[in-house]
């Protein structure tokens, strides 16, 4: 029977959300084409994850490796490659996370399989697999097919596939890690936790978020005035931190903070998924952007298509008027 294989990622005693998303998608696809869903997890305490993965998987391969605390690309690649070569799963699903980005391309070359990364949809039609990817700043959707191959590797965009609790209760097979490789060419040395910042944007009820569209450090002041009129806190997209316009504690998104304010007012932010995953919990999203085709308008409740440098000062004034 054909197989679909999901690579499970874990760090600090918990499974990555994106792995559960891949398991959910994998379950749907496996049911659709009557394939078996296999989940592979590697690490020191794999038994901890087995039952959870078995909720979706027909079978969990729990590879016990006392050297490996959390998911890392090299041990995963060296373990997965022989499994893939032997079992020839039709499809391998991996989350497009930091770990997935470090693993999937090398694994694909290693096993000689076609690879599509950061996919927003995966479909099987008459046995043929196609994927959708969002390209050109999210303005275009691209549909891809693959050259004939026994196995395809696909990484899925985090937050794109909703998790549905699985009811499968598959079997768990624990296997000993058989590689004697030490990976001395790439030694793991530890973690650095994110810096604790003065402002805690995760607790703010009103966030005024600026993006690259603010154009200049000097213009941040405009947003600050608006924030103080609204009793809110400044947040930002990544480029604003990269350019040194605001400290990293203000960054919302995949590599920043996850926020859930009552109001998220996005000024000159395009709406890249790495930003949007950080604000899904917002009550109301308002976007001001001069480009009507900016993807952020697809997620916002209200939008103004205009120049933020023009709108912000007027808005600040109107709000101050309304308050007095």
Ligand X SMILES: Cc1cc2nc3c(=O)[nH]c(=O)nc-3n(C[C@H](O)[C@H](O)[C@H](O)COP(=O)(O)OP(=O)(O)OC[C@H]3O[C@@H](n4cnc5c(N)ncnc54)[C@H](O)[C@@H]3O)c2cc1C
Conformational region of residue 248, where left means phi above 0, alpha means psi within -120 to 50, and beta covers everything else: alpha
Q: Is 268 in the site for ligand X (CB under 6 A)?
A: yes
> Residues 200 to 259: which contact another protein by CB under 8 A?
206, 212, 230, 238-239, 241-244, 248, 251, 254-258
Size, binding site for ligand X by CB under 6 A: 27
Q: Given the rule CB under 6 A, which of 58-66, 79-87, 114-122, 205-213 is the region that contacts ligand X? A: 205-213
Q: Nearest CA to 92 among 159, 14, 35?
A: 35
> Residues 124 to 153: which contact another protein by CB under 8 A?
130, 133-147, 149
Binder to ligand X among 26, 43, 170, 253 (CB under 6 A)?
Answer: 253
> Residues 129 to 188: which contact ligand X by CB under 6 A?
137
CB nearer to another protein: pick between 175 and 179: 179
Phi and psi of 233, rounded to 5°? -125, 145
> Residues 282 to 301: which contact ligand X by CB under 6 A?
289-291, 294
**What's the burial of 228, exposed, middle or buried (CB within 10 Å: 0-12/13-18/19+)?**
middle
> Residues 248 to 267: which contact another protein by CB under 8 A?
248, 251, 254-258, 262-263
Distance (Å, whole) CA 153 – CA 93 = 6
Binder to another protein among 1, 182, 191, 218 (CB under 8 A)?
Answer: 191
Asked if residue 38 lies in contact with residue 151, where contact means CB atoms within 8 angstroms, the answer is no
Nearest-approach distance from CB 216 to another protein, in angstroms: 14
Size, binding site for another protein by CB under 8 A: 98
- Please choose which of another protein, ligand X, none residue 206 contacts, taking the beta carbon within 5 to 8 angstroms, the exact cut-off set by kind: another protein
Give just the sign of the alpha carbon dihedral 275, 276, 278, 279. positive
- Please choose which of another protein, ligand X, none residue 179 contacts, taking the beta carbon within 5 to 8 angstroms, the exact cut-off set by kind: none
A 10 A CB-CB count for 149 gives 14
Cα 240 versus chain centre, distance: 20
Q: Is 242 in the site for ligand X (CB under 6 A)?
A: no
Q: Nearest CA to 61 among 35, 41, 81?
A: 41
A 10 A CB-CB count for 142 gives 12
Asked if residue 71 lies in contact with residue 99, where contact means CB atoms within 8 angstroms, the answer is yes
Q: Is 258 in the site for ligand X (CB under 6 A)?
A: no
Angle value at C-alpha 261, between 256 and 265, nearest 5 degrees: 85
Q: Is 307 in the site for ligand X (CB under 6 A)?
A: yes
Asked if residue 157 lies in contact with residue 96, where contact means CB atoms within 8 angstroms, the answer is yes
A 10 A CB-CB count for 125 gives 9
User: Please, how many CA atoms are within 13 Å of residue 236, restricted to the half-sphere of its CB?
Assistant: 26
CB nearer to another protein: pick between 86 and 125: 125
A 10 A CB-CB count for 136 gives 8
Nearest-approach distance from CB 153 to another protein, in angstroms: 10
Nearest-approach distance from CB 128 to ligand X, in angstroms: 30
Q: Is 251 in the site for ligand X (CB under 6 A)?
A: yes
In the complex, which residue's CB is closest to ligand X? 253
> Residues 206 to 225: which contact ligand X by CB under 6 A?
211-213
Per CB under 6 A, residues contacting ligand X are 137, 211-213, 237-239, 251-256, 268-270, 272, 274-275, 278, 289-291, 294, 307-309
């Amino acid at each position: 029977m054909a197989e679909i294989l999901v690579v499970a990622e874990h760090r600090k005693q918990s499974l990555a959300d994106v792995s559960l998303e891949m398991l959910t998608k994998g379950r749907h696809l496996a049911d659709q084409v009557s394939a078996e869903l296999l989940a592979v997890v590697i690490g020191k305490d794999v038994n901890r994850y087995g039952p959870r993965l078995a909720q979706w998987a027909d079978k969990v391969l729990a590879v016990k490796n006392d050297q490996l605390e959390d998911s890392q690309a090299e041990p995963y690649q060296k373990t997965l490659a022989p499994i893939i070569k032997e079992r020839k799963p039709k499809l391998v699903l991996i989350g497009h996370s930091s770990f997935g980005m470090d693993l999937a391309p090398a694994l694909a070359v290693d096993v000689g399989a076609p690879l599509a990364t950061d996919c927003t949809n995966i479909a099987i039609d008459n046995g043929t697999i196609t994927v959708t990817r969002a390209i050109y700043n999210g303005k275009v959707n691209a549909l891809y097919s693959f050259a004939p191959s026994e196995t395809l590797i696909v990484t899925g965009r985090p937050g794109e596939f909703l998790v549905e609790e699985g009811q499968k209760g598959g079997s768990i097979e624990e296997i000993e890690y058989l590689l004697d490789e030490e990976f001395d060419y790439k030694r793991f040395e530890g973690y650095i936790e994110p810096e604790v910042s003065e402002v805690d944007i995760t607790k703010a009820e009103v966030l005024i978020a600026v993006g690259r569209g603010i154009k200049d450090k000097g213009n941040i002041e405009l947003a600050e005035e608006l924030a103080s009129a609204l009793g809110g806190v400044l947040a930002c997209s990544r480029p604003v931190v990269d350019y040194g316009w605001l400290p990293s504690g203000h960054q919302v998104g995949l590599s920043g903070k996850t926020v859930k304010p009552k109001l998220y007012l996005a000024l000159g932010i395009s709406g890249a998924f790495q930003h949007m995953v950080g604000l899904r919990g917002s009550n109301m999203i308002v976007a001001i952007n001069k480009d009507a085709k900016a993807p952020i308008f697809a997620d916002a409740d209200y939008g103004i298509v205009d120049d933020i440098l023009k709108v912000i000062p007027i808005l600040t004034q109107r709000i101050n008027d309304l308050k007095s």
